[in-house]
């Protein structure tokens, strides 16, 4: 551009006639070229639209042929059956919902429906909920819905062929309105109809009872009595697992027919009563898995359980002693449990000082690989925080010293730093450490004033000093640690967590200290520093496989569900089923 024209660009001066003439002569050729290019673009755009239209027309023509040639159509039935079976969730019972497998698989096409219906493995497990009426308006609708549901249950079970069955029966309690409470006639009618529903369910199950392998029951006493008649009506030769929860009449268990089955190996009971002996020990000696974690027992009865059921492999107990319980005068010298592999003990606030130590020391379990011990202050929320004393000794300390454990789980809220380090020092073989209460456990989401107890640094003692000689591991806690999980460590900083992880990811020439493989920590605070990128980059440089999960301010809100829904009771069922292994859902690959 000419300098004279550049001057005009830097000012607002009007161009002269000569300048205008000069500029017009300059831009004539570029304008012509621009017009030609624009016309070519428009021509190309129209051509592109024509090609797109032709493309869509061809695709529309080809679509039915592609549908016919779809690889899914050519899958042999046996392969489809295998795929369908893998569509089922393994962490909960299937429901009678068209949105979930296996019913969903019957609504795709006729061929899929035929394959699904002829695959008995898809129909061997089922969740069966039903509920009482909420008010007089809802009563008729729900009653009719339950009758249709029972018919559907019968059709479902017929599709299972001769395979073993696993059933979940869940009764949904709802609050009745004032009109129903005031009307004794309506209340009497409701009770009668609910009883007839239980009778119909019982008669529905009788033809399939010999194939029952697993029962999960959440029922009122009247309904439970009907289901408990099954062993008297028909043999239950393969029933191995039974879970009973939410019972309101606890003394009924001792006379239960379901407990007198020689095939029974796994049992879970859930109640809130502390004044009863829940199971007939004389008839349950074959049990290998016993879960009474949500059923508080006296210390004396817990010892009786171990003395009578010597074949236990997995056991979960809650010990709750009140002032009315008599002190045990003579402790057993040794209770041999040669098959025991996992022991989960939850201790309430009311256990006597020293009693739990004696309890643990009386157990001889040479094959034990996982101990979980928690002192649960949330059983008694009325107890003030300042009344919860720090412990200077972990009750199971001597016990874990005698065991070659691979996994240890405990809470830190009532421990001081000295007791915490004693635990770490007593279990050098540990490769999986859980500290605190996992998500979903009672009290995690609503800890209230108990947050003041969370002032124990659980990370710093585990930091490995890189200045120490590789062959010197005498002062290192848990040299075999591979998995670390912690919940609610409020005072732990992100910087401390970073130093801990990096110190355990350093390459050790003689492999005397294991590298971490996984860390999961839940904080009840906001993020201070995003350390994940640095940790993962460091692990990548070392060529190590490492998983990191840091969660901040986790909230647990139970979803509201319609009691008449086909999935009602599923979330509660999952909580109970996983309470044997409270961290199963988090790290299944590191289970002992």
DSSP per-residue codes, 316-357: EEEE---TTSPPPSS--S-EE-TT--EEEEEE-TTPPTTHHH
Residue 560: its pLDDT value, please?
56
- Euclidean distance between the first and the last CA atom of the chain, given in angstroms as a whole number: 81
Give the three-state DSSP class for 499.
helix
Among the listed ranges 26-40, 173-187, 281-295, which one has the minimum average pLDDT value?
Answer: 173-187
Confidence of residue 292 (pLDDT cuts 50, 70, 90): confident
What is the C-alpha to C-alpha distance for residues 318 and 306, in angstroms, rounded to an integer? 13
In the predicted model, is pLDDT for residue 378 greater than 60?
no
Structural domain total, the chain: 1
Query: Mean pLDDT for the chain?
Result: 78
Mean pLDDT across 439-451: 42
Select the more confidently predicted residue: 166 or 3: 166
DSSP E strands, 25-158: 125-131
> Is 447 within the bounds of a domain?
no
> Is 63 within the bounds of a domain?
yes
Confidence of residue 31 (pLDDT cuts 50, 70, 90): very high
> Is 58 within the bounds of a domain?
yes
In the predicted model, is pLDDT for residue 442 greater than 80?
no
The answer to whether 411 and 436 have CB atoms below 8 angstroms apart is yes
Select the more confidently predicted residue: 396 or 506: 396
The answer to whether 308 and 277 have CB atoms below 8 angstroms apart is no
User: 3-state SS of 355-422?
Assistant: HHHHHHHCEECCCCCEEEEEECHHHCCCCCHHHCCCECCCCCHHHHHCCCCCEEEECCCCECHHHHHH
| Residue labelled with tokens 């090609």 | 51
Residue 382: its pLDDT value, please?
37
518 - beta bridge partners? 483, 547
Check: pTM over 0.85? Answer yes or no: no
Residue 61: its pLDDT value, please?
94
Mean pLDDT across 275-298: 72
What is the C-alpha to C-alpha distance for residues 524 and 496, in angstroms, rounded to an integer? 16
- Please give the backbone phi and psi of residue 389, each rounded to the nearest 5 degrees, phi first: -80, 145
In the predicted model, is pLDDT for residue 454 greater than 60?
no
% of the chain surpassing 70 pLDDT:
71
Confidence of residue 369 (pLDDT cuts 50, 70, 90): very high
> Within 10 A of 56 (CB to CB), how many other CB atoms are there?
10
> Is 555 within the bounds of a domain?
no
* pLDDT tens, residue by residue, 56-78: 999 999 999 998 898 888 899 99
Select the more confidently predicted residue: 398 or 511: 398
- Sequence-separated (6 or more) residues with CB below 8 Å from residue 545: 517, 539
CA distances to 314, 343, 442 from 30, rounded to whole Å, are 87, 87, 78
What's the domain range around 43? 14-68
> Is 400 within the bounds of a domain?
no
Confidence of residue 516 (pLDDT cuts 50, 70, 90): very high
CA distances to 265, 272, 353 from 317, rounded to whole Å, are 17, 13, 18
* pLDDT tens, residue by residue, 123-168: 999 999 876 554 455 666 767 777 888 889 999 999 999 999 999 9
Residue 533: its pLDDT value, please?
94
Structure tokens at 196: 């007839």
Phi/psi region, residue 400 (left: phi>0; alpha: psi -120 to 50; beta: rest), is alpha
> Is 19 within the bounds of a domain?
yes
Residue 349: its pLDDT value, please?
61
What is the C-alpha to C-alpha distance for residues 537 and 107, in angstroms, rounded to an integer? 47
The answer to whether 374 and 337 have CB atoms below 8 angstroms apart is no
Q: How far is CA 59 from the centre of its chain?
A: 45
Look at residues 221, 93, 225 and name the one whose alpha carbon lies nearest to residue 167.
93
Residue 448: its pLDDT value, please?
35
Residue 155: its pLDDT value, please?
94
> Is 59 within the bounds of a domain?
yes
* Range with top average pLDDT, 11-25, 278-292, 348-362, 441-455: 11-25
In the predicted model, is pLDDT for residue 386 greater than 80?
no
What's the angle, vertex CA 406, arms to CA 403 and CA 410, rounded to 5? 85
> Is 422 within the bounds of a domain?
no
């Amino acid at each position: 551009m000419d300098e004279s024209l550049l001057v005009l660009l830097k000012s607002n001066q009007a161009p002269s006639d000569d300048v205008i003439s000069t500029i017009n002569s300059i831009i004539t050729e570029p304008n012509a070229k621009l017009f030609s290019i624009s016309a070519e673009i428009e021509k190309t755009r129209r051509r592109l639209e024509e090609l797109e239209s032709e493309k869509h027309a061809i695709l529309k023509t080809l679509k039915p042929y592609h549908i016919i040639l779809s690889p899914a159509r050519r899958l042999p039935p046996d392969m489809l059956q295998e795929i369908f079976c893998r569509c089922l969730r393994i962490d909960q019972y299937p429901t009678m919902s068209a949105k979930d497998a296996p019913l969903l698989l019957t609504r795709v096409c006729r061929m899929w429906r035929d394959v699904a219906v002829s695959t008995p493995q898809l129909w061997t497990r089922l969740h069966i909920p039903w509920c009482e009426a909420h008010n007089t308006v809802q009563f008729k609708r729900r009653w009719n819905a339950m009758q249709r549901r029972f018919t559907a249950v019968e059709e479902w079970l017929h599709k299972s062929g001769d395979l073993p069955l696993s059933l979940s029966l869940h009764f949904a309690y709802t609050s009745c309105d004032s009109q129903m409470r005031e009307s004794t006639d309506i209340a009497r009618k409701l009770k009668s109809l609910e009883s007839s529903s239980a009778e119909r369910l019982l008669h529905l199950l009788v033809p399939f009872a010999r194939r029952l392998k697993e029962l999960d029951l959440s029922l009122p006493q009247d309904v439970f009595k009907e289901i408990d008649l099954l062993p008297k009506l028909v043999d239950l030769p393969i029933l191995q697992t039974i879970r009973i929860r939410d019972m309101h009449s606890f003394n009924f268990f001792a006379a239960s027919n379901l407990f007198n089955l020689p095939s029974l190996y796994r049992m879970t009971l859930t109640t809130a009563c502390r004044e009863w002996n829940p199971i007939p020990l004389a008839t349950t000696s074959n049990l290998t898995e016993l879960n009474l974690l949500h059923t508080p027992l006296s210390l004396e009865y817990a010892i009786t359980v171990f003395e009578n059921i010597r074949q236990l492999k997995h056991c979960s107990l809650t010990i709750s002693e009140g002032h009315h319980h008599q002190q045990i005068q003579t402790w057993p010298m040794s209770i041999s449990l040669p098959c025991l592999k996992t022991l989960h003990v939850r201790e309430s606030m009311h256990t006597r000082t020293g009693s739990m130590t004696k309890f643990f020391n009386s157990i001889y379990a040479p094959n034990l690989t996982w101990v979980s011990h928690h002192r649960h202050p949330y059983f008694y929320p009325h107890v003030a925080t300042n009344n919860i004393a720090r412990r200077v000794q972990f009750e199971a300390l001597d016990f874990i010293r005698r065991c070659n454990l691979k996994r240890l789980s405990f809470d830190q809220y009532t421990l001081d730093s000295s007791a915490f380090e004693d635990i770490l020092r007593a279990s050098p073989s540990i490769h999986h450490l859980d500290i605190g209460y996992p998500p979903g456990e009672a009290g995690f989401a609503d800890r209230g004033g108990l947050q003041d107890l969370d002032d124990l640094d659980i990370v710093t003692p585990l930091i490995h000093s890189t200045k120490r000689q590789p062959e010197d591991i005498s002062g290192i806690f848990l040299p075999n640690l591979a998995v670390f999980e912690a919940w609610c460590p409020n005072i732990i900083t992100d910087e401390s967590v970073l130093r801990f992880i990096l110190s355990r990811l350093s390459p050790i020439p003689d492999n005397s200290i294991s590298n971490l493989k996984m860390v999961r920590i839940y904080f009840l605070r906001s993020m201070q520093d995003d350390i994940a990128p640095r940790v993962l980059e460091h692990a990548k440089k070392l060529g190590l496989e490492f998983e990191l999960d840091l969660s901040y301010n986790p909230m647990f809100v139970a979803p509201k569900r319609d009691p008449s829904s086909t999935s009602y009771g599923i979330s509660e069922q999952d909580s109970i089923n996983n309470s044997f292994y409270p961290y199963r859902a988090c790290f299944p690959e590191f289970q002992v």
